[in-house]
Structure 1
Amino acid sequence: MELNKELTSKRLCVNGITLNVIDVGQGEPVLLLHGFPDTSAIWRHQIPALLKAGYRVIAPDLRGCGQSDIPRSKWSYRLNNLVADVAALLDALQLRQVRLVAHDWGAVIGWAFVLRHPERVSCYVAMSVGHPTCYARAGLLQKLKGYYTLVFQLPWLPEWLLKLGDFKGLALMGGSPVEMPLWRKALSVPGRLTAGINYYRANPDLLLPFSRGDALVPVYGIYSTGDRFLVESQMTNSQRYCKRGWSYTRLDHVGHWMTVEAPEEVNTLLLSYLERQVPTSTH
């Protein structure tokens, strides 16, 4: 199931590249950031629910993903550039502040954006991935679950393994039959698989256990117990770095791609949390 065809997107030049961006609705702005190997289509169940609730929804394809530009240099995918993309996107849309919701690599970017630009986020919903310090310090089980972050540092071999047998390698790793057709279609475009892996290649320092600082906005963490890539402690320990409020929900028997595996439950949690937050500014 792809995004509703009525949710038209537009092309915006931000931070030296062009992003494909869904921008629909008229209310308080909610920014949705996807992860790897996804596109904005991972939010296909959340966007209609947010629109119905009266929000303006912004969902970009991040650099290298979906229908956005594909920078060739590995270093174009440094976290500093990814955070700068978000800031430039808000500038292009003339938005001073948003409610931020992010999953997987989008959550990594979301945490970094909150830590560097707290004035631009009224509240943050982090799905699956906790505070970067907690992720880096999560221990041996997290290192084992995140084995691929080291494999992805190698040249060419990860691409070969994931593409093997018409992307059977990716299907085995990802474990989501529902999303697999979308991944195959998106990553068959030349350069897009390498772009996604370059998120990992350009940021190996995310594995180093130094302190990244405190989040100075309210944060809501959502973790699913069926997550094959992440341990719960890297999310729950995030509370100690959230100085403006912390909420947490654990979804039992749900896998990593919670937005499509348990969309109604995720939508209920998301809307309930956002309704309780009062933005300090919207423009």
Structure 2
Amino acid sequence: MAIEPIDPFSDSRVTHETAKVNGYTYHYILGVPQNGQYKATVFLIHGWPDLSIGWRYQIPFLISLGLRVVAPDLMGFGGTVIPPNSIHLYGFKRAADDIAELAKQLGCKQIILGGHDWGGMVVWRTALWHPELISHVFSICTPYAAPQKKYISTEQLVQGPMPQAAYQLQLAGPDVEAALQSEEDMRIFFNMMSGGRGPNGEVGFSPERGVHFEDLKKLKRGPLLDEKTYEFYVQQYSRNGLHGTLNWYRTREANYKDDLNLPTDRIEMPALFIQANYDSILKPSMAVGMDKYFTQLTRADVDAQHFCQVTHPDKINAILKNWLDGVVFGGKSTL
């Protein structure tokens, strides 16, 4: 099931498009089967510090299955605008509304919606805000988290059930974006985010601490990014810096307030959750008990870490194909 990933700079299988969505310009990757015919449209939503090209192994695979694929850069990422206004523009409600508007512009009555990392939270919330649009939904790594009746801050989360979320406090603050601004800084940053290590095994990031500034310059590029894809990420981030992407870590209270207006906490359409068993942040224990919020949930897992759609693309693609064949197009209730 091996497939050649999308070339980030130029690939005949896809086009790079822009659209004015609810007043702001979005960039998205668009892929259509060669014959122009497709049986459904799937939207793929990335996380941090990813971009739409983070789906480079899934986009061509899904096209080969006869699907039209739309992979946008989220607000503040890549080729999508970085608005200076309300933090709500970086929240789940706004992302859901923007997905719905882009789908409308592309002539979609319904879409299949998938996400990873922050994108996983976005797709779960989009399924709640726009259930009429989403025929099926899937998330990789990110378990469903129901809307809360009482506000729980990131500080409370770290002091309580999620000490591994301490990095979010650092990313939400001023230090990371102030320290990493130039192109050379972005090279160092993506040495870290690609899993690079120093000569004595130093790492540049840990969930409990966040960025290890003292070790960053020791790191070499890691295995998550080949040289060309690494250059693409450096180029994209050098243009606009980290500010817009880090705003996603500043929206917890804004998202809570938006969630208070949700009409339901149940996911009614068929859903798939793919757990990465060795994810050090989105741990398997976080997905315990989420089934009660679903009418029809399929679970799968891979023995992999957080960026499993890149490190284990064949396994992820096989799971997606089984679900698409069996549940989405085969009408089965589970696999």
Alignment partners' CA distance in 2, 1:183 and 1:228: 23
* Residue matched to 1:258: 308
Q: Partner residue of 2:20?
A: 13
**Residue 42 of structure 1 aligns to which amino acid in structure 2?**
G
In structure 2, the CA distance between the partners of 1:170 and 1:24, relative to structure 1 (3 Å rule), is: closer
CA distance in 1, matches of 2:277, 2:232: 24
Is residue 268 from structure 1 mapped to residue 318 from structure 2 by the alignment?
A: yes
Q: Is the 8 A contact 2:91 2:255 kept in 1?
A: no
CA drift at 1:64: 1.4
Contact 1:97 1:119 in 2 (8 A): yes
Instruction: Report the Cα distance in structure 2 between the residues aligned to 1:113 and 1:162, rounded to whole angstroms.
Output: 32
Residue type matched to 2:237 in 1? L
- Are 1:58 and 2:70 an aligned pair? yes
Give, in whole Å, the separation in 2 of the partners of 1:278 and 1:45: 20
Shift of 1:170: 5.8
**Aligned counterpart for 2:269 among listed residues 217, 222, 225:** 217
Return closer, same or farther for 1:139/1:203 CA change in 2, 3 Å cut-off: closer
SS at match of 1:188: helix
Mapping 1:150-165, distance limit 5 Å? 150-154=169-173, 156-161=174-179
Cα gap change, 1:140 to 1:251, in 2 (>3 Å): farther
Does structure 2 retain, via aligned residues, the 8 Å contact 1:134–1:237? Answer: no
Overall identity of the aligned pairs, in %: 27
Partners of 1:269 and 1:115 in 2: how far apart?
A: 24
Deviates more, 1:139-148 or 1:264-273: 139-148
Shift in alpha-carbon separation, 1:247–1:134, aligned structure 2, 3 A: farther
Structure 2 counterpart SS, 1:133: coil
Distance (Å, rounded) in 2 between the aligned partners of 1:32 and 1:271: 15
Instruction: Look up the SS of the partner of 2:172 in the other structure.
Output: coil
Task: Give the conservation status (yes or no) of the 8 Å contact 1:33–1:103.
Answer: yes
Q: Which runs of 5+ in 2 are unaligned?
A: 197-221, 330-335
Preserved CA contact (<8 Å) 1:49 1:267: yes
Of residues 279, 295, 299, the one that matches 1:227 is 279
**In structure 2, what residue type is equivalent to 1:194?**
H
More displaced 10-residue stretch of structure 1: 21-30 or 47-56: 21-30
Instruction: Supply the distance in 1 between the matched residues of 2:194 and 2:253 (Cα, whole angstroms).
Output: 21
- What TM-score, normalized by structure 1, do the two folds share? 0.86
Report the Cα distance in structure 2 between the residues aligned to 1:197 and 1:96, rounded to whole angstroms.
32
Aligned partners of 2:101 and 2:138: how far apart in 1? 20
- Cα drift, residue 161 of structure 1: 4.7
Aligned-residue offset at 1:42: 0.7
Name whichever of 105-114 and 17-26 sits farther off: 17-26
CA distance in 2 between counterparts of 1:261 and 1:236 reads: 25
2:117 and 2:142 in contact (8 A); partners too? yes
Q: Which residue of the other structure, out of 178, 188, 196, is the alignment partner of 2:245? A: 196
Distance 1:20 1:220 in 2: 26
Residue 248 of structure 1 and its aligned partner are, at CA, apart by: 0.9
Determine which structure has more spread, i.e. the larger CA radius of gyration: 2
Q: Which residue of 1 aligns with 2:202?
A: none
What's 2:99 paired with? 86
Contact 1:259 1:266 in 2 (8 A): yes
Corresponding residue of 1:38: 50
Following superposition, the deviation at residue 56 of structure 1 comes to 0.9
C-alpha distance in 2 between matches for 1:123 and 1:47: 17
Worse-superposed segment, 69-78 or 202-211? 202-211
Q: How does 1:154-193 map to 2 (within 5 A)?
A: 154=173, 156-161=174-179, 166-167=185-186, 168=188, 171-172=191-192, 175=195, 177=222, 178-179=224-225, 181-190=231-240, 192-193=241-242
Higher RCO (CA 8 Å, separation ≥ 6 residues): 1
Q: Is the 8 A contact 2:273 2:300 kept in 1?
A: yes
- Please tell me the residue identity of whatever aligns with 2:18: R
**Maintained 8 Å contact 1:40/1:59:** yes
Counterpart of 2:112, as a letter, is R
Cα distance in 2 for residues equivalent to 1:173 and 1:58: 25
Aligned to 1:241: 293
- Partners of 2:92 and 2:126 within 8 A in 1: no
Cα distance, 1:102 vs structure 2: 0.7
The gaps in structure 1 that reach 5 residues or longer are none
State the superposition RMSD in angstroms.
2.9
Task: Give 1:129's aligned residue.
Answer: 142
**Secondary structure of 2:19's match?**
strand
Could you tell me whether the CA contact under 8 Å between 1:33 and 1:107 is conserved in 2? yes
SS for the counterpart of 2:132 is helix
| TM-aligned CA deviation for residue 120 of structure 1 | 1.0
